[in-house]
Amino acid sequence: MISLKKSIFITGATTGIGNKLAELFLLEGHRVAITGRDLSKVDQAFRDKFSDLELYEVDVTDEKAMETAVENFAKNGLDLIVANAGISHGSKSKWPDMKASRNILKTNVLGVINTFAPALNYFEQQRSGHLVAIASVAGMVGLPGASAYSASKSAVIKLCESYALDLPDKGIDVTTICPGFIDTPLTKKNDHSMPFLMSSHKGASLIKKAIENKRVLYIFPWQMAVVIHILSHLPRFIYRFMMKLPIANYSKS
């Protein structure tokens, strides 16, 4: 439990896992900002329920807009920032979609940097703060049909791994969250099987606990953590062979 009232900024939280995480923090009495490209997705009942909720309509790929939003929120404090916004391929294909790939990398990688940059300026001054990035188990390996998504989440994992080495001396904690499949509007677009699918409420609860415990790297659910650990440590020629087997075909068709 976070005992004192905190100021928490979460991107991509109009729906899905970010929204559930925001709700959990708000229910504990924390001050929370959520961002999204379309705030009309935020239910009016949700808005009316929490007096400590602040909303910012902003795209994480817009560096200046993110800087303005974070700085505005931080005027009344900033303790924790969660870079949650992200997009995926949805429909998997062996043939790369280069336009989609550019958008995925821009959102999932530069979006994290744009989120963290203004927060770091504030955390450096107060010599405390907590950076959290929502990555994915997909960043541990190159998944078939998800080249840009795997690449983007791998970049986030390694980016934060370096931050976790560099920033604690400045009083700044770093947490990387790597979920498996969570039932959200984003994953509903997937046209492939999703083993160990978890509800967004359960996923948000586990993420919140990992944040509170200041875990440097948290992979869940445990079944997916075991599978991805094995796959990521296989000799790569064996991994490539396995991914070409019919059982590894992600398509439902």
Neighbours of 8 (CB within 10 A): 26
Known catalytic residue at 149: yes
Collapse the DSSP code of 73 into the 3-class scheme (helix H, G, I; strand E, B; otherwise coil) and give the result.
helix
Report the C-alpha gap between 135 and 150 in whole angstroms: 10
HSE-CB at 172 with a 13 A cutoff on CA atoms is 23
Scored b (16 or more CB within 10 A) or e, 182-197 reads: bbbebbeebebeeeee
- Catalytic residue, chosen from 56, 122, 149, 163, is 149
Report the C-alpha gap between 11 and 21 in whole angstroms: 11
> 40 CB contacts (<8 Å, ≥6 apart)?
none
In sequence order, which ranges of 76-188 are alpha helices (DSSP H)? 98-105, 111-126, 147-166
Note whether 129 and 172 are within 8 A (CB): yes
Report the C-alpha gap between 10 and 20 in whole angstroms: 11
| Residues recognised as catalytic | 149
